[in-house]
Amino acid sequence: MSNGHVQAQVADGIARIEFFHPKGNALPGAILRELAATITAVSQSPEVRVIVLQSGGTGPFCAGASFDELVAIDDEASGQRFFSGFAGVILAMIRAPQFIITRVHGKAAGGAVGLIAASDFSIATNAASAKLSELAVGIGPFVVGPVIEKKIGLAAYSQMAVDADWRDAAWCERHGLYAKVVPDVTDLETAVDVQARALAAFNPEAVAQLKRVFWAGTESWDALLAERAAMSGTLVLSDFTRQAIRAFKTR
């Protein structure tokens, strides 16, 4: 994974899943596949009552898709396969029977916003601005769009998609992307720990049923997200997008 990793630890009914990549916690295909597999495996353990999703380091929470891999895509099939990696993580998250808390310690861009939206409860710091940067590089937030729209509504989602600029943490909390915002990382760790311990004490059958209620209507998303991944996989091959990504990388 080019020095990236996905790690999972379980203690007292709480599973902490961490992903890391040295380039701003970007998400290459290998990490996306491993993250989806890890979430699925952890969620099947009867010992796990709640899952915390977090990223490593002290920089961004996640820079989104790996631009190195985007540039390297050379046909529609590999393009669809890459973007399907985000679909795999989203589906693993919403279908886990446990609540997933996402710990957002820094900025979140592109696909990262989809991961946050796919969680059941997210806690962020004041530094955790978010943006959908896809349109600015010649594609669109097609794969992550359905889960973001379901979480924050069409109006707020379309604002993020059309105006590809940063939204501060207060905006994200106001529109429901973040459930709670705290001042700094120290407060974040405390808030996540308190929330995780509280959720781990709930009746797991009640949690699983409530989770199904939260994500009702997503049963057809396997096909929907595959279709959206194909859209992105085609667009990423265009000359416009290739030039836009190269220009973005040189900033």
Q: What is the pLDDT of residues 26-42, one digit of tens each?
A: 999 999 999 999 999 99
- Where helices occur in the chain by DSSP H, the ranges are 29-43, 67-72, 76-95, 111-117, 145-152, 154-162, 169-174, 185-200, 204-214, 221-235, 239-249
Domain that holds residue 10: 5-185
Region of 96 please: left (phi>0), alpha (psi -120 to 50) or beta: beta
Q: What is the distance between the alpha carbons of residues 168 and 160, in angstroms, rounded to a whole number?
A: 12
Count the domains in the chain: 1
In this prediction, residues 114-122 reach a mean pLDDT of 98
Question: Does residue 98 sit within a domain?
Answer: yes
Does the residue 236 lie in any domain?
A: no
> Does residue 82 lie within any of the structural domains?
yes
Angstrom distance (rounded) from CA 195 to CA 141: 30
Residue 106: inside a domain, yes or no?
Answer: yes
Can you tell me the distance from the alpha carbon of 229 to that of 236, in angstroms, rounded to the nearest whole number?
Answer: 11
Q: What is the mean pLDDT of residues 89-106?
A: 98
Q: Where does the pLDDT of residue 249 fall: very low under 50, low under 70, confident under 90, or very high at 90 and above?
A: low
Considering the domain boundaries, does residue 191 fall inside one? no
Instruction: For residue 145, tell me if it sits in a domain.
Output: yes
CATH number at residue 66: 3.90.226.10
Let me know if residue 75 belongs to a domain. Answer: yes
Please give the model's pTM, rounded to 2 decimal places: 0.96
- Give residues with Cβ within 8 angstroms of 247, minimum separation 6: none
Is residue 210 assigned to a domain?
A: no
**pLDDT tens digit sequence for 29-80:** 999 999 999 999 999 999 999 999 999 999 999 999 998 898 889 999 999 9
Q: Token match 């009552």: residue?
A: 49
